[in-house]
Amino acid sequence: MGNKINQNGVLSPESSRNMIGEIENRSKYLSDIKSDTDRHRDHIHFLISKVEAATFTDISEVETFVKWIDEELSSLVDERAVLKHFPKWPERKADSLREAACNYKGLKNLETEVMSFKDNPKESITQALQKIQSLQDRLEESVNNTEKMRDSTATGKRYKDFQIPWEWMLDTGLIGQLKYSSLRLAQEYMKRIINELESNGGSKEGNLILQGVRFAYTIHQFARGFDGETLRIFNELKKMSTSESRR
């Protein structure tokens, strides 16, 4: 909403107060920026040297380092505004470290969520299957985004220039672990369908089996195969499919 001017070209009292308040707030903000810049000058120069010299052999070290840097800068009234007064602040490296640490942490949290998932038998089968599907969708999206980032020439060059570990983004690292963890979701999905059919059966049996097979196939492609337990549960579902087709 703009400041109101009456017919005589005079600002209303409310508009005047708003303008005065904005000027005062902005002036205080700029004053706080200058105060932080002066007060923390030596410490920020220290942090600049730490960021510039930082090298890592494992992504967990990056996560620890970024957490420390964030804590050291957390007292600033506006980090970006203060650091603009320090031309030597290694912004590209600091941002790249934060990017890598944030992505790694997010994927690790997602892996924990997947591996700790437990089906709630009190929920309807529709709710249960939708919840598993939603978690798998998030998993696939996160993995795909990380793979695109990994395969990006620009990202690869940045990580190499700043000595940021990237092996965790490979199928032999965390990405591979995440794909493997999806087998747990396939197991929970198929087991819920099997339990539903064994306890209720009904006219929807064929649809449920088909739904289970489709989900299992999606996971099979994503994880690039089944382990022994997932294959065992899949064979149980397949037996039900065979029995249903003979009716």
Distance CA 131, CA 125 (A): 10
**Which 8-state DSSP code applies to residue 4?**
P
Distance CA 113, CA 195 (A): 23
Q: Which of 100, 102, 101, 194 is nearest to 150 (CA)?
A: 100
Q: Which pLDDT tens digits describe the chain residue by residue (247 residues)?
A: 455 555 555 556 666 666 655 665 666 888 889 999 999 999 999 999 999 999 999 999 999 999 999 999 999 999 999 999 999 999 999 999 999 999 999 999 999 999 999 999 999 999 999 999 999 999 999 999 999 999 998 998 999 999 999 999 999 999 999 999 999 999 999 999 999 998 875 545 678 999 999 999 999 999 999 999 999 999 999 988 766 555 5
The helix/strand count (H/E) of the chain reads as: 10, 0
Two tokens, residue 197 = 């059919």
pTM of this structure: 0.81
